[in-house]
Chain A
Amino acid sequence: MKHRMVVLVALVLAYGAVPLLLGSMDYVMSLIIAALTIGGVALAWALLGNLGGLVSFGHAAFFGVGAYTSAILVVDHHWPVLLAMVAGGVGAAVASVATMPALRLRGPYFALAILAYGHIFRILAVEATSLTGGAAGMLSIPGFPTLLGINLASKTGAYALILTIVLLFAWLYGLIRRSTYGLALRAMHDSELATRVVGVPSTHLKAAMLVISAFMTGVVGAFNAHQINFLDPEYAFASSWTVLPIAAAIFGGYRTVWGPVLGALVVFLVDQLVFKELMPSGHQLVFGVLLGGMVILGPHGLLPLLGRWSKKEASHAGA
């Protein structure tokens, strides 16, 4: 019951208070939209890490494929934007199928093989000039429509859209995690033999997580393309789309559903509002420090870390 209340209050704040209070400040809204965009990718990345047990250094690939798929469908084939965004997710999911041979590699090699795929997709986007416009990119990609009287192309509208996407993904993630699939996936990390012998097709489940994670990343990539109305390969496949979500997920706690999203909000907003002001070039250094620091101080991220500290304090207080 208490849990329900918290969720309700959070929803009212997110959908009501934020646009009411900040809606008029375009710059702040843009930052929040960008932070949620990264949060969406971070959530997808963490789903793959937490449930699939796979660390990926190549989510930029899925982000870029989703962005291009959607943009091309809208520009060249006049698909409605929202439908094309779903297709962007499907495009990224299809691309992830190409990466599946990498699933039989051990952890670090999988991570790096996916990184290689990211580069390959970027180069292909540059080379497929007739489809993607090549290195010059695509200009004036149509923005979001008006839906149920809400102009999604406005800052507030775009905010509501990405918020909804992220919430839907978080809900889906939670659903998977609580299902027997989620249980089996959780058990697989440390007890792969025990799970296989009772009939769990572990490689298939991992593959499924990869597809779902890629789909989510693709949808978010597509959202971003229609939000900024512009794409070029260097931007769509930029390593930032990998680095920032990883930093956010690890900072917020990649073993939790909300950690990556909250992590993205904190990390990105602090970076843009503080560090970018302090050091205009090279402020991404902060993400590097963050990644290294989190690995050394608490390999499961900040949320569990905070939980541990507060537990410790409670037990001290009790003693």
Chain B
Amino acid sequence: MLELDAITMRFGGLTALHAMSLSVAEGETLGLVGPNGAGKTTLFNVISGVYAPSGGTIRFGGQDVGALPQWKRARVGIGRTFQIPQPMRELTVRENLRVAQRFGAGKEDPAALDEILDLLGLAHKQHADAATSLALTEQKALEVGKALAVRPRLLMLDEVLGGLEMATKRTFARTLETVRARFGLTMVIIEHDIETIKALCPRVVVLNFGQLIADGTPEAVFNDPQVIRSYTGDTPA
């Protein structure tokens, strides 16, 4: 469904992604891990069209989406969340979802919004101001809600479970699993917690200094010496 070929992203002198190739199959849930600054968020930004890569191609559902502007990527079915929640200011929670649905999915469907709000436990807060009146968990849930309202085929979650308490994290992870099954999503999840990754993702890739250094089942990947070394701070040869 998603095929990245030799994606390179440079910021001035810094190369955040280094000729990176990756493919994600339809219906797969992929864990994306790696130390801070490895380039995970940058990869999402490139796929969702926030940045134009310095080189390489992005194919989604068989189509080359590299030239599509950001807003059209949402419309072809790429949904994403932001590591730092980005609610639409001045709007309520429900209005946030309405905008995402109207423009991302193409038409308004109040029943579908109700379902998303229910699934994410936001129903009671739907008329609250999105930017000022949500707790951290609710802000993260809204991030997911906006992405879902777009009716994506691919959902990319950037540390939506980060910073949550262990118990909350487990509940939220179960919610994500429900959501995935309900909407038949392909997912890429950035997450630091190994237990969560093991619970959610049959396949994991590891990014370090803008390069993929491992790809496989969680068991195989987290026992890979190279991966362990990358977390203890060694630079690649």
Contact = CB atoms under 8 A, between A and B. Distances in A.
A194 B48 CA distance: 12
A13 B79 CA distance: 52
Counting contact residues on chain A (CB < 8 A from B), the size range is 10 to 19
Interface in A272-307: none
A198 B102 CA distance: 9
A205 to B, nearest CB: 9
A128 interface: no
Nearest to A201: B71
B191 to A, nearest CB: 20
Interface in A205-246: none
Interface in A183-219: 183-184, 186-187, 189-191, 193-202
A180 interface: yes
B103 A199 contact: yes
A70 B206 CA distance: 66
A187 B74 contact: no
Given A197-B48, A197-B80, A199-B75, A180 B103 contact: yes
Given A187-B88, A193-B50, A194-B88, A199 B98 contact: no
B90 A195 contact: no
Contact of A180 (B50, B79, B87, B102): B102
Nearest to A188: B88
Contacts of A202: 71
B28 interface: no
B104 A199 contact: yes
A194 B50 contact: no
A199 B74 contact: yes
A184 B50 contact: no
A198 B146 contact: yes
What is the interface of chain A mostly: helix, strand, loop, or mixed? helix
B89 interface: yes
Nearest to B106: A199
Given A197-B48, A198-B99, A199-B150, A186 B70 contact: no
B226 interface: no
A50 to B, nearest CB: 11
A193 B51 CA distance: 12
Contacts of A198: 74, 79, 99-100, 103-104, 146-147, 149-150
B6 interface: no
B96 to A, nearest CB: 8
Contact of A195 (B50, B72, B88, B149): B88
Interface string B67-110: 00111101100011010001111110001101110111100100
A200 B80 contact: no
A200 B90 CA distance: 16
Contacts of A180: 98-99, 102-103, 108
B152 to A, nearest CB: 10
Contacts of A200: 71, 99, 103
Contacts of B95: 183
Contacts of A201: 69, 71-72, 103
A196 to B, nearest CB: 5
Interface of A: 180, 183-184, 186-187, 189-191, 193-202
User: What 4 pairs across the A-B complex have the smallest Cβ distances?
Assistant: A187-B88, A199-B74, A199-B104, A198-B100
